[in-house]
Amino acid sequence: MDYLKGLNPSQRQAVEQTEGPVMIVAGAGSGKTRVITYRVAHLIQKGIDPFNILVLTFTNKAAKEMRERIMKVVGSEAKNIWMGTFHSVFAKILRVEAEKIGYPNNFTIYDTDDSKSLLKAILKEMSLDDKLYNPNFVYGRISMAKNNLISAAEYLKNDQIQADDFSTGRGQLGQVYATYTARCFKAGAMDFDDLLFKTNVLLRDHPEVLHKYQHKFKYLMVDEYQDTNFSQYLIVKKLAAVNYNLCVVGDDAQSIYGFRGANIQNILNFQKDYPDVKVFKLEQNYRSTQNIVNVANSIIKNNENQLEKNVFSDNDEGDKVRITRSYSDNEEGKSVAESIIQERSTKSLDWNEFAVLYRTNAQSRSMEEGLRKLGVPYKIHGGMSFYQRKEIKDLIAYFRLTFNNNDEEAFKRVINYPARGIGKTTIDRMIVAADQYGKSLFEIALNAPQFLDNRAATAVGNFATMIQSFAAVAKTSTAYDAALHIAQHSTLLKDLYDDKSVEGLARYENIQELLNGIKEFSEREDIEDRNLSVFMEDVALLTNDDNEKAEDKDTVSLMTIHSSKGLEFNQVYVVGLEENLFPSQMSLNSRADLEEERRLFYVAVTRAENKLHLSYATSRFKFGTLVNCEPSRFLDEIDPKYLEIDLPKKSAFVSNEKSSFDNERTLWKSTTGGESKTNDVFSKPKPASAQKVKTTALLSKAHVPSPDFKPEDTSSLQVGQQVEHERFGFGKVLNLEGNKPDIKATIFFKDIGQKQLLLKFAKLRIVR
């Protein structure tokens, strides 16, 4: 019983309560895994047969870690526990019982690619437009139906579902679902969702099987219960209905998978399902400093739909949470990189003690570029490098082929993507001809009638002509105009836009993010040659990642917030805290969606152990256009006394510009009631009685040009003159160097600091 001595009172009570329904509400960093493993070990120590214990998790990693910990307490008996993910455990049961529902015991499990390949074949056989009936969308629709236990037959009979499908022009979705189900059954195959769906069918239609497993699993434990969907909920409820020994562990404040079908009501209503439940709250956070815990609490208290708890920490108070404002997403990336370098140096930390978290995968681009340029090693987790994503590589392959027609790998990658009726047989013939005549594939394409039949020759010839037209456009266009032309006229952009699935939307956003980066490159004022070929050289350097295979290298972690769940880092940077990005625009339609976004922010905040950095940009490129951004409403919800707001530092600005900082200084003092640790230009704090203002009063928007703004001839510009820049705002000329027409001006802009610009590209308005 020595293992119980290391538990706090709440943890120990939860471990020792082995009988009846139990709900353990485990706050972030509260030792949840320890409680689960010790509770299972305690059951075995009390004499419960491990074969009668079922523990369900959401990841194989979690199950492996728990089993190893249990073995340290009870030895090899831990191997006999039924422990694993929902899908692995019920696949094991189905292997035994499958014949009762008409499947062979050696049924095949289709992965996502298998399922989508079958769906593509069915759509082709039914002569359905694969743009309207995109396989990704269809797969997602069927998956959601199965997770809600709606069979194909019920799908076809449901008037509301049918009405929804017909209203979008997809009236045949039900028939596709039915055909897909029949084909899987005929092939003796189940897809990933079937492992739960068919388990429910098995337990519903075969009472003797339900009876068998109800009496086998005398004790059930479910980890991350807040992430269960309806299908999982029903299985657990049925299996626990006899012995009633069900323990669920979770945190409603960390329920962030609603888009996958997870239903937070499962944990919120647990006490209604089991009125005699014993509830234990693990409220002590062992991970984070007091300031970080206080910030997290001030955020999540704004959710109405939650279980009451008071998370606290006995750790050191720690640094205040820092909010940083940047002009653009690229500057945000640079700022994060500079901060990581400084923090690592001053606190003697390793690179792997830092993490950068973002709302969407597309945001990794600016973060990657900022880190690369300053030589900070990093690794993308839960995804791949921005420039290694398929859709990005596809468009870049078009760029490569435009500038180098002999690039064989680029040619093979895009000749039939998007689909243009050029099949594998045709490509193989071209490869043979190229080898035989010593020509490139593109040269074969230009002379396609000599090597291919009429239909194939026409399609291949059209492709070659299109690539030649791209080259002509690129010679006379900016990098952005050329890139956009290629993305549009290759039909790649349309192909991704027409895919309305969650995955398709993410791919389309990634392409837009690439175009945004090229747009910024096109408008840079520090280089003269800004065509697409120069941008491609930059990309070639960016994607030359020598450390790609060094999985164990000391690197900064980059990941979406969803991917970060369950992890922890010494220092965490949460970036892109802007309205319509975080919270996302899609989440603003309902309170439930907004509350899930707030829970996602809570998860991000609670990944940090010792220091948390929050940042946002006041402008961001979206769909090729620079737009102003508002700071996220979530920043307003943080109690200002836990914050340190990093405003632009005062520089060599003469006294008549002093007032431009006065408002920020006053707001800062009335908000925080204390001195900034990084900015020494503020005067003494105002009295405590000063009226507080919202945090976002400090988080100003990007510069809006004056109504009469128009770039002027600056060839006679003088030191000391006031100027206005369309994006950077108002500034003072501090220095001029060089000779016409290559004069460089050093200008201090009051909102973003000092910049050096080539006057012939600067587009300035002279104020006085």
Binding-site residue ranges for ATP: 26-33
Among this protein's residues, is 224 annotated catalytic?
A: yes
- List the beta bridge partners of residue 25: 250, 281
Altogether, the residues listed in the chain come to a count of 768
Distance, CA of 467 to chain centre: 34
Which one from 97, 194, 223, 353 is the annotated catalytic residue? Answer: 223
Which one from 18, 33, 491, 746 is the annotated catalytic residue? Answer: 33
The whole-angstrom separation of Cα 561 and Cα 383 is 12
Please state, as a whole number, how many other Cβ atoms lie within 10 Å of the Cβ of residue 502: 12
Q: Give the contacts of 187 (CB within 8 A, at least 6 positions apart).
A: 108
Asked if 193 and 147 touch (Cβ cutoff 8 Å), the reply is: yes
In 3D space, the residue among 94, 144, 146, 136 whose CA is nearest the CA of residue 112 turns out to be: 136
The whole-angstrom separation of Cα 615 and Cα 333 is 10
Q: What is the DSSP letter of 312?
A: B
The whole-angstrom separation of Cα 244 and Cα 20 is 5
Among this protein's residues, is 32 annotated catalytic?
A: yes
- Residue whose token pair is 């070990």: 41
Q: For residue 128, which amino acid is it?
A: L
The whole-angstrom separation of Cα 32 and Cα 43 is 17
In 3D space, the residue among 16, 79, 69, 22 whose CA is nearest the CA of residue 46 turns out to be: 16
Give the three-state DSSP class for 379: strand
Please state, as a whole number, how many other Cβ atoms lie within 10 Å of the Cβ of residue 68: 11
- Residue whose token pair is 């009631």: 673
Give the three-state DSSP class for 760: helix
Give the three-state DSSP class for 189: strand
**Cα angle value 383/489/486 (rounded, 5°):** 60
The whole-angstrom separation of Cα 762 and Cα 34 is 60
Q: Give the contacts of 218 (CB within 8 A, at least 6 positions apart).
A: 48, 52, 53, 243, 245
The whole-angstrom separation of Cα 19 and Cα 274 is 13
Which one from 11, 32, 499, 555 is the annotated catalytic residue? Answer: 32
Which one from 172, 232, 254, 672 is the annotated catalytic residue? Answer: 254
Three-class secondary structure assignment of 647-676:
CCCCCCCCHHHCHHHHHHHHHHHHHHCCCC
Q: Which residues are annotated as a binding site?
A: 26-33
Backbone φ and ψ for 747, nearest 5 degrees, come out as -125, 135
Among this protein's residues, is 254 annotated catalytic?
A: yes
Three-class secondary structure assignment of 687-718:
CCCCCCCCHHHCCCCCCCCCCCCCCCCCCCCC
Among this protein's residues, is 11 annotated catalytic?
A: no
Give 3-state DSSP helix, strand, coil % of the chain, rounded to 5: 50, 15, 35
Asked if 367 and 333 touch (Cβ cutoff 8 Å), the reply is: yes
Asked if 681 and 665 touch (Cβ cutoff 8 Å), the reply is: yes
Q: Where does residue 683 rank: exposed (0-12), middle (13-18), buried (19+ CB within 10 A)? A: exposed
Q: Give the contacts of 226 (CB within 8 A, at least 6 positions apart).
A: 250, 251, 252, 254, 255, 262, 264, 266, 267
Q: Where does residue 186 rank: exposed (0-12), middle (13-18), buried (19+ CB within 10 A)? A: exposed
First vs last C-alpha separation in the chain: 81
- Residue whose token pair is 């940042």: 615
The whole-angstrom separation of Cα 394 and Cα 380 is 20
The whole-angstrom separation of Cα 579 and Cα 587 is 11
Which one from 97, 165, 193, 224 is the annotated catalytic residue? Answer: 224
Helix (H) / strand (E) containing 391: helix 390-403
Residues designated catalytic: 32-33, 223-224, 254, 607
